[in-house]
Chain A
């Protein structure tokens, strides 16, 4: 059984370390906040100008002046701080954020990432994604292993416009986990019931297999 959205988020949450400052992208990455291990404390950054992002507010505590980068209403915590967009991206570009988790349309074997535009469709814009992948210390990318038509999304080269070049540190799909620390991506983990043959069949990128490959 491939991992569900929630299970992908749960797997990504294992990358969080105690004391980390973390930026979570929109979509599945937002769910990661639900799976932070009990013995780990992280501080969530929202790039519209907030550190120490709390959970969604109770209905009677909604405040239009308090939203996250996905424009959702949120709440503050005792350790929360607010700052300008320039300060926010200063901490992102300055390498002060330990980890970012974001979604993707395509990833290439050299770590190139494409997640902001499809030619011919209305382009909404990159928002803060290009700054995050360029500035954050470790970039964890989450996506489905294949497109809806079954074609691979983990490729030799991206054919969509890039968000960043050679920026991916870890790729988590619904089928497997790849580490980009070496010269070539390394398959380090398989989702339950997924075998090597299936990964080879559904992956265009070249990768090596970890001697410690973890099966679930």
Chain B
């Protein structure tokens, strides 16, 4: 089966509905599905709950969906560096649920693996623990966190083969593999489509079972948020 779709809008056809929950991979602007986010914006789907570690910047990434007020709620660990976000949150237009970053990642992993909840030490004694079940194991207190699933997961990978097997590149991997497992439908965006048999099966990061379709982006922008370099010393 060849899961390649001709365009982002074709890949999302019949999948979108108002009020849906969408996971989007990425850490900052690294490893985000640029073309799929733009297609979401163009689709006009609204009242979305977005599960993503961050919310892009004002004019790139998920920030685009804030400009058009398509996001109703964000579930994230960190949302700095985005004035539009701040404005909409402060005015009460936008709901926000903070999750510790590891809890967010594990909630996605658990959701994708059919695990409804898990216990963790993270957040014990903080506002995160309020209203959650506490349980002691060997004298240590843990809190219950729940697994997350989404109506749709949008992930960014480096390469895909016909089957939708995915390989990520460097730190652009981040949340993408766990989110790929936790979407009822998962669409990937890649930089290169390789023929079947091109990957060493031992080196595949996300097996194609999790991927319903993928698109190939032609020129990913990949903006850099904070450029830091060192100088050559002669």
Contacts of A70 in B (CB 8 A): 226
B28 CB to nearest chain A CB (Å):
4
Determine whether the beta carbon of A164 is less than 8 Å from that of B125.
yes
Contacts of B225 in A (CB 8 A): 67, 71
Interface size on A, residues (CB 8 A): 53
| 6 A-B interface contacts by CB (under 8 A) | A62-B227, A82-B171, A89-B105, A124-B80, A129-B100, A162-B126
B77 interface neighbour in A73, A83, A93, A128, Cβ under 8 Å: A128
Contacts of A65 in B (CB 8 A): 30-31, 158, 169-172, 222
A71 interface neighbour in B30, B77, B175, B176, Cβ under 8 Å: B30
Among B170-192, those with CB < 8 Å from A are 170-178
Determine whether the beta carbon of A67 is less than 8 Å from that of B171.
yes
A167's nearest neighbour on chain B, judged by CB, is: B125
Contacts of A179 in B (CB 8 A): none
Interface of B is mostly: loop
Determine whether the beta carbon of A73 is less than 8 Å from that of B102.
no
Interface string of A120-134 (1 = CB under 8 A from B): 001111111111001
Q: Which of B120, B123, B171 has the most chain A CB atoms inside 10 A of its CB?
A: B171
- Complex alpha-carbon distance, A92 and B106, angstroms: 12
A48 interface neighbour in B27, B103, B121, B224, Cβ under 8 Å: B27
Check A124/B78 contact, CB under 8 A, given A134-B123, A162-B125. yes
Contacts of A47 in B (CB 8 A): 101-102
Determine whether the beta carbon of A71 is less than 8 Å from that of B232.
no
Contacts of A85 in B (CB 8 A): 27, 53, 101-102, 104-105, 174-175, 178
Contacts of A64 in B (CB 8 A): 29-30, 222-224
- Complex alpha-carbon distance, A72 and B27, angstroms: 12
Determine whether the beta carbon of B106 is less than 8 Å from that of A86.
yes
Contact of B193 with A by CB under 8 A: no
Determine whether the beta carbon of B122 is less than 8 Å from that of A165.
no
- Complex alpha-carbon distance, A59 and B169, angstroms: 20
